[in-house]
Amino acid sequence: MNEAAEVSTSLISSPVGVLMVLAGVAAIFFYLEQVVKQKEQAGQIKFNIFNFFPPLLFIYILPLIFSNTGVIPNDSPVYDFMSYAILPLFLVMLMLDVNVGGAIRVMGKGIFVMLFGTLGVMIGAPIAYAIVGGFLEPDTWKGFGTLAGSWIGGTGNMAAVAEGLKTPPSAFGLAALADNIVYIVWLPIMLGSKLLAKRFNKFTGVSKNRLAEMEKAAEDIKRDKGRQAMRHVLYLLAVGFAATYLAGLLSENFPVVEPVLTASTWRILLVTTLALALSFTPAKNIPGSHEIAMALIYLFVANMGARAHVSEVLGQAPLFIVGAYIWVFIHGGFCLLGAKIFKVDVHSAAIASAANIGGAASAPVVAAYHKESLVPVSILMALIGYAIGTYAAFATAQFCYWVSTIYF
């Protein structure tokens, strides 16, 4: 069925109508999460479904159902616009908050544990794909590369890598599904590691003064951007679209090396690089960048769900998830090795892993459980993941592609 025919048979087919649905789905599930959280805190309910299945999963699945049942189309000009304009815009805003120097000053050797965890993600991906890839569709290696974006950085990196690789929406869905299902098991492990603090710290030989030094350093770099005003939104849009436009111009001059280093990949890498450069300028002090970025990211996730086909996601899900579990335990082994080599405490190691696998949403949760004063540290570490996530994930995708040539 061609695009025009599909659009005409959808209940809601206009670009504005499709945007209404995508934005509405994202808004509803964050509203529900807030309501349920308030009821949980008030003791009115004991089970909070969003503790196990975050809004992201529903924000992907509901548009998937809508597009496969004729409510909205699988193809729409809106989806192309979001890939070309909205995605690089939120990448710029996301990177403005990155504070590389601050993170290094606070975390010290803990940064190396996170980098070891990142290395574990990069090495674990092709190993896991080598085990299960022969049973999956030929282009599922792109799904592994996309998931690497999330596990090194966060949802924004996952979306960026998916755009660069032109990951099929179904493979993006597998990545999103595996991300959340692994999270259900991995988060309790990171939280429970607190109980092993004495044994772990004895095993790694950590300095007794390390935690106190981290807390003091975290206090020294706290930054308040102030209250957001209308002009700040305009500043952010101007900076974001300028970086997007410049990256598009520059990407035309870079060599294409299929299948990973395409023109689209170069564009995403250039946007990321320009945005990181901006994080060293006064642009980093513009209020509201993170909030706008996250709103656009979830809108993009809804867009990816709308473009997928249910049968393609469900058929490959079990083996993809098995591969993801193999992969995440390889990552855990690398974190443990890094903690031993660099003599780092269990709290820093758990936060480092959470910053990789869960990103900025999960790292503060783990930090708060281990030691409340380390919450600012965890956010800094997650931001380092944002900074390196896109670059490292594209490299991981290349590794997985090389493995795929064995099977296909």
User: 50 in a domain, yes or no?
Assistant: no
**Cβ atoms of residues 382 and 360 within 8 Å:** yes
| Structure confidence at residue 215 (pLDDT) | 63
CB contact burial 343-377 (16+ within 10 A = b; e otherwise): ebbbbbbbbbbbbbbbbbbbbbbbbebbbebbbbb
User: 47 in a domain, yes or no?
Assistant: no
User: 323 in a domain, yes or no?
Assistant: yes
Segment 71-98, tens digit of pLDDT? 999 889 999 899 888 989 998 998 888 8
User: 15 in a domain, yes or no?
Assistant: no
User: 250 in a domain, yes or no?
Assistant: yes
User: 35 in a domain, yes or no?
Assistant: no
Nearest 10 degrees: Cα torsion 356, 357, 359, 362: -130
Segment 299-311, tens digit of pLDDT? 998 998 898 888 7
Q: Output the DSSP codes for 273-331.
A: HHHHHHTTSGGGG-TTHHHHHHHHHHHHHHHHHHT--HHHHHHHHHHHHHHHHHHHHHH
**Cβ atoms of residues 22 and 81 within 8 Å:** no
User: 149 in a domain, yes or no?
Assistant: yes
Instruction: From first to last of the 408 residues of the chain, give the pLDDT tens digit.
Output: 444 444 458 899 999 999 999 999 999 999 999 999 999 988 898 888 887 788 888 998 999 999 999 999 988 999 989 988 898 999 899 888 887 777 777 667 778 899 999 999 999 999 999 999 989 999 999 999 999 999 999 888 999 999 999 999 989 999 999 998 898 889 889 888 888 888 888 888 877 676 666 666 666 556 667 788 899 999 999 999 999 999 999 988 898 888 888 889 999 999 999 999 998 899 988 999 988 998 998 999 899 889 888 877 778 899 999 999 999 999 999 999 999 998 888 888 998 999 899 887 788 888 888 877 777 778 778 888 888 999 999 999 999 999 999 877
d(CA 25, CA 34): 14
Range of the domain at 174: 85-407
**Number of structural domains the chain divides into:** 1
**Cβ atoms of residues 218 and 238 within 8 Å:** no
User: 360 in a domain, yes or no?
Assistant: yes
